[in-house]
């Protein structure tokens, strides 16, 4: 189904003037000047034409391609709209051409006001700019209220700060290779690096103008062709932009064909006579018509890697070992058995688990704390390298923990976004495969928690983190934990969990997170640990599965369950009952910390002579949970 498209910007009345050589002269510095005395009755032109441009032109092109299209000049999308009726609001422009170059002389931009359209479009095409501050303020508000809307725009046309701001909503952008706007963000070394840079920030398709060469790229490939804009480069470039948008959204699976069709429309159009796609296709079908397209290269298959890693993480019968305790959590564990919390003891503790024999038969990956990434085995081998040599995927916990949420007593917000990009750049170079970020919600009916504000703030952070991870080719695990402690009922847990998960996937959709390269880590639906009526394993499984089926899109790579303070055998029994209700649309497995570690920790007690026994207990718990991934 084709999207509805709204064109915004100035509606223009354009006069194209192709001036004669005798009106050109050079000054003493050898610079060219054009004699443009418009009241001179003797002034002659090679060619003169007038058209309606800006949003009027783009709307006409979208309509010709059979899109539901409208614009701020024609807000209801009325067919056969008489644009002469809005003559007072048109911006008049003279586009002066000389030897293939175009220069724009414009009247003062009109003070346009943002008027919300009668219904929300799927796509907004920014056809012309010169927005006032008040217009931008209202436009931003509209976007925040309609977060499903995607954008198309030319980076060179917008204020550079505005371009940055809109990237998160951009589906398709146009770039001038020679102007090199936003060079701190976009790598202009070559066409491929430009495409890669923009794909990393969430843009899906890129068009690069480099003189007569036009390059198009997406996650699958990069292609180029030569334009033949002999009529007027400014006019035909505008036609090409709108035509490529139309063809890209009509035929997104075939990049080269979209390029050829849009170029044919632009090359063969005349003033006030834009070639329709049907006739452009007939021209392309002629045997004697040539418009060669060169395939430059395939872009790096970041998507393929994300999908492969994500599916491997949840492949039965393996689970994920969460060895990512923060400093505070591991301190409590050590304190409970009388072990000093220092760097060497933390390193030795983690090494004990990592060196357990045969864990690769039961584990797909291990989540590390950031400190652990830098630590080595007793033989001096970095833990990341050691685990990868055992065919284990390596992840890292990236959130900075929880802090009080300002203005909301007894609620928290996850922190760490300010340093996330820097960390991801570092860890991608270390070949880290995946990451995890946790937010937490406590159920308290009397206090009204979790509040909508806390849910929205934390889930927005999860979505931003997930998008950033995928930019660097790292699979994100998103963990919106509903805390087990409390006296809430299983019904309350079900309602809150479902609300959170549905909201989470809306946020992930808004941020264009690739669900096939994403893992959800969630708690099971069960009564709080302090509730008098505890949930049976079958009840937990039934409620958990129903919530997941109603909340989790089938495109998601997988769901992994956290133990969240459950007793070791309780977590295993609940997992078994969930498995018995499968299969599901997504892979399912476990990602436990305490439920795998506690027996081993107690047996170890910080003594080397106890390591072997502790490892056997750890392997026993890992194997038991992997066995629970099969129906009994």
Q: Kindly report the number of other CB atoms within 10 A of residue 403's CB atom.
A: 11
E-state strands within 457-601 = 475-482, 519-522, 558-561, 587-592
283-296 tens-digit pLDDT: 988 888 888 889 88
Q: CA angle at residue 412 from 409 to 417, to 5 degrees?
A: 140
Class of domain 303-593: alpha beta
pLDDT of residue 133: 84
Q: How far is it, in rounded angstroms, from Cα 76 to Cα 54?
A: 17
Asked if residue 557 lies in contact with residue 310, where contact means CB atoms within 8 angstroms, the answer is yes
pLDDT of residue 9: 84
Helices (H), 314-437: 327-336, 343-354, 370-373, 383-389, 420-429
Q: Architecture of 5-300 per CATH?
A: 3-Layer(aba) Sandwich (3.40)
pLDDT of residue 333: 86
Asked if residue 541 lies in contact with residue 580, where contact means CB atoms within 8 angstroms, the answer is yes
Q: How far is it, in rounded angstroms, from Cα 148 to Cα 143?
A: 8
Domain ranges for the chain, please list them: 5-300, 303-593
Mark the ranges of the chain whose per-residue pLDDT is less than 50: 39-43, 299
Q: Which residues are catalytic?
A: 479, 521
Q: How far is it, in rounded angstroms, from Cα 59 to Cα 127?
A: 9
pLDDT of residue 577: 97
Of 105, 106, 142, whose CA–CA distance to 124 is shortest?
142
Strand order in the sheet with 213-218: 69-71, 5-8, 123-126, 150-154, 170-176, 205-210, 213-218, 222-226, 294-297
Q: How far is it, in rounded angstroms, from Cα 587 to Cα 559?
A: 6
């Amino acid at each position: 189904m084709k999207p509805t498209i709204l064109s915004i910007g100035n509606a223009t009345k354009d006069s194209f003037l192709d001036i004669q050589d005798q009106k050109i002269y050079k000054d003493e510095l050898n610079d060219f000047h054009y004699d443009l005395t418009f009241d001179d009755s003797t002034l002659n032109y090679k060619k003169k034409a007038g058209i309606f441009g800006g949003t009027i032109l783009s709307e006409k092109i979208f309509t010709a391609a059979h899109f539901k299209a409208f614009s701020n000049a024609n807000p209801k999308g009325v067919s056969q709209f008489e644009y002469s009726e809005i003559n007072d609001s048109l911006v008049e422009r003279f586009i002066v051409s000389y030897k293939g170059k175009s220069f724009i002389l414009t009247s003062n931009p009109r003070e346009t006001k943002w008027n919300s359209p009668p219904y929300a479009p799927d796509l907004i095409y920014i056809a012309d700019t010169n927005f006032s501050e008040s217009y931008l303020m209202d436009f931003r508000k509209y976007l925040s209220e309609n977060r499903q809307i995607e954008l198309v725009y030319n980076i060179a046309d917008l204020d550079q700060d505005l371009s940055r701001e809109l990237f998160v909503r951009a589906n398709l952008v146009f770039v001038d290779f020679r102007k090199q706007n936003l060079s701190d963000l976009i790598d202009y070394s070559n066409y491929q690096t430009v495409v890669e840079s923009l794909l990393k920030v969430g843009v899906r398709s890129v068009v690069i103008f480099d003189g007569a060469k036009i390059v198009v790229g997406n996650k699958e490939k990069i292609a180029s062709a030569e334009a033949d804009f002999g009529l007027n480069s400014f006019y035909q470039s505008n036609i090409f932009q709108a035509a490529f948008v139309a063809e890209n959204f009509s035929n997104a699976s075939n990049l080269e064909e979209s390029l050829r069709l849009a170029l044919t429309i632009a090359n063969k159009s005349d003033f006030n006579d834009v070639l329709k796609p049907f006739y452009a296709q007939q021209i392309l079908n002629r045997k004697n018509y040539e418009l060669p397209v060169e395939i430059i290269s395939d872009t790096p298959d970041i998507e393929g890697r994300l999908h492969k890693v994500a599916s491997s993480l949840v492949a039965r019968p393996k689970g994920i070992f969460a060895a990512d305790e923060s400093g505070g959590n591991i301190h409590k564990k050590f304190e409970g058995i009388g072990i000093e919390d220092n760097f060497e003891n933390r390193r030795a503790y983690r090494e004990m688990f990592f060196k357990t024999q045969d864990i690769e038969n039961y584990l797909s990956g291990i989540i590390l704390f950031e400190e652990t990434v830098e630590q080595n085995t007793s033989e001096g081998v970095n833990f990341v390298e050691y685990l990868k040599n055992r065919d284990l995927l390596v992840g890292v916990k990236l959130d900075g923990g929880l802090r009080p949420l300002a203005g909301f007593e007894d609620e928290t917000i996850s922190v760490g976004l300010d340093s996330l990009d820097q960390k991801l750049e570092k860890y991608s170079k270390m070949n880290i495969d995946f990451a995890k970020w946790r937010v937490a919600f406590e159920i308290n009916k009397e206090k009204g928690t979790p509040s909508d504000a806390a849910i929205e703030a934390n889930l927005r952070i999860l979505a931003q983190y997930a998008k950033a991870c995928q930019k660097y080719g790292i699979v994100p695990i998103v963990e919106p934990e509903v805390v087990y402690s409390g006296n809430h009922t299983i019904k309350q847990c079900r309602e809150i969990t479902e609300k959170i998960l549905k909201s989470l996937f809306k946020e992930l959709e808004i941020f264009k997170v690739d669900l096939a390269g994403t893992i959800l880590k969630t708690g099971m639906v069960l009564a709080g640990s302090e509730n008098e009526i505890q949930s049976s394993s079958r009840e937990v499984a039934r409620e958990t599965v129903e919530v997941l089926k109603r909340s989790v899109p089938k495109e998601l790579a997988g769901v992994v369950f956290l133990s969240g303070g459950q007793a070791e055998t309780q977590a295993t029994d609940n997992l078994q009952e969930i498995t018995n209700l499968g299969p599901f649309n997504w892979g399912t497995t476990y990602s436990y910390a305490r439920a795998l570690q506690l027996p081993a920790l107690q047996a170890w007690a910080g003594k080397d002579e106890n390591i072997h026994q502790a490892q056997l207990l750890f392997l026993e718990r890992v194997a038991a949970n992997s066995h629970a991934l099969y129906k009994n």
